[in-house]
Structure 1
Amino acid sequence: MHTTNYYDTFIEVADDCRVTAAEIPQQKGDNKTVAALQFDMLIEHPYHYTSDDVVFGVYAAKNHITKKDEADEREKFFSKGQPCLRSSPLGKRYGWGIHSNAEGKVAIYPVESEEYKIFATDKNLKHVKAMRSKRA
């Protein structure tokens, strides 16, 4: 079974992120975007979900997976590799850093915040960047 979870890691915003202050992703039309779904999960429940929970939760919402089918669908979903939160639009486009604690639970922090600066300089954490939107 594959996983997208990180532990004691801070995902910094992408080098080519266009914003200097974090933005709240907006929904387009009647449907929430991936960014909006991820944002809602993480802003309302910091350190409640793992990366796997967020990635699968968005997939389940987008594909209308019922609670009764959730366990089987999750197993199928993670039977092959999935993009991790480094590829999330939150870090690539909207200016949110993602911290994973020792238990793999995640929370988001705006790039302009004091908390972001503290995590970005914490030598006890592994540091990775969100993926760039464009090739270098």
Structure 2
Amino acid sequence: MKTTNYYNTFIEVADDCPVKTAEVPPIRGEKTIANIEFELLVDNPYEFTSDDVLFHVHAAKRQLRTQEFDVEREQFFSKGQACFRSSPLTKRYGWGAHFDADGRMAIYAVESDEYQQYAKDRSLKQVKAMRSKKG
């Protein structure tokens, strides 16, 4: 099974992130990937891994029933998935993601003191979110 989990890592917002202060992803009709990720992570810091969050989004978008989760999760991770560096939270909405030693994650607003601390912490692997535009 493939994984998207990070350990002792901080994902900084993308270089071309359009916001200087973090935004809550707006809800317009059906919930977006950003809405689902945000709701999971803002209310449950360090409860989920990246794999948990990405599968939850997949399950929510496909309206899977919980009894289908085990089989679906195995199938979902049987092929590679984009990691959290490609999340709209880190690319567009100004949220950094910290992963602890167990791979559990929490998000931090780019303007927050916590974000600045994690971004400077050399004991963590530092990676940037993927850019939205090529170049």
**TM-score scaled by length of structure 1:** 0.98
For these two proteins, the number of residue pairs brought into alignment is 135
For the residues of structure 1 that align with 2:84 and 2:28, how far apart are their CA atoms? 21
Specify the alignment match of 1:12 in structure 2: 12
For the residues of structure 1 that align with 2:116 and 2:128, how far apart are their CA atoms? 14
Amino acid at match of 1:64: Q
Structure 1 counterpart SS, 2:14: coil
Deviation at 1:9, TM superposition (A): 0.2
Q: Is 1:98 paired with 2:97?
A: yes
Question: Mind listing any 5+ residue stretches in structure 2 that lack a counterpart?
Answer: none
Specify the alignment match of 1:123 in structure 2: 122
Pairing 1:34-53 to 2, within 5 Å after superposition: 34-53=33-52
Deviations 1:85-115 (A, max 9, x none): 0000001000000000000000000000000
Deviation at 1:27, TM superposition (A): 1.5
Deviation at 1:53, TM superposition (A): 0.2
Specify the alignment match of 1:61 in structure 2: 60
Structure 1 counterpart SS, 2:2: coil
Amino acid at match of 1:2: K
Amino acid at match of 1:19: V
Deviation at 1:28, TM superposition (A): 1.8
* RMSD of Structure 2 on Structure 1 (CA): 0.4
For the residues of structure 2 that align with 1:48 and 1:128, how far apart are their CA atoms? 21
Structure 1 outlier segments of 4+, above 4 Å: none
